[in-house]
Amino acid sequence: MKNKDGYVTTEAAVLLPLASILILLLVWLCSYLYQGCFMTQAAYLAAFRGSRFRDQGEAYVNRQLDELLSGEALRFEEEQRTVEVSALSVRVALHRNTPFDVFGDWIPDLSVSWRAAVRDPVSHIRGIRNLQKMGDQDG
């Protein structure tokens, strides 16, 4: 029995560092996925809100984006943003570098782009109602 003393210590010396590295990689991966989802949601909401109030311009969309991104719990770096407001659409693009450059191109930087068409909801609803009335008159 004296030959087998210390086998638990040897196994722990090998397995504990491997388990710690695995847990650390999982936490990094989860934070990467969280930030990707959060940035996608923020870009969508900012573009949608900007499309509703297009006349307020890029400053309004940037304020909405700042408000949305202020609630983020985890952040690798500050994002680079592009906001374009035109007569037909509002486009919001976000790009954020990640600390995963060690892995090369296997894990890309976070990049999100969202475009929302400009619509006047009141005239849109009136148009639909007018079309329904025209359909009722034909039948």
pLDDT of residue 4: 63
Q: What is the pLDDT of residues 61-77, one digit of tens each?
A: 999 999 998 888 777 77
pLDDT class for 127, splitting at 50, 70, 90?
Answer: confident
Tell the residue number behind the tokens 């990640």, with chain if given. 98
Q: Is the pLDDT of residue 15 over 60?
A: yes
Residue 11 clears pLDDT 90, i.e. is over it = no
pLDDT score at 5: 66
Q: How many domains does the chain have?
A: 1
Per residue in 75-86, pLDDT (tens digit) is: 777 889 999 998
Please tell me what DSSP assigns to residue 6. Answer: T
Angle (deg, nearest 10), helices 7-52 and 57-69: 150
Say which residue the tokens 């311009």 belong to: 57
- Its domain, for residue 89, covers 2-138
pTM of the full structure: 0.71
Rounded to an integer, what distance in angstroms lies between the CA atom of residue 61 and that of residue 44?
A: 11
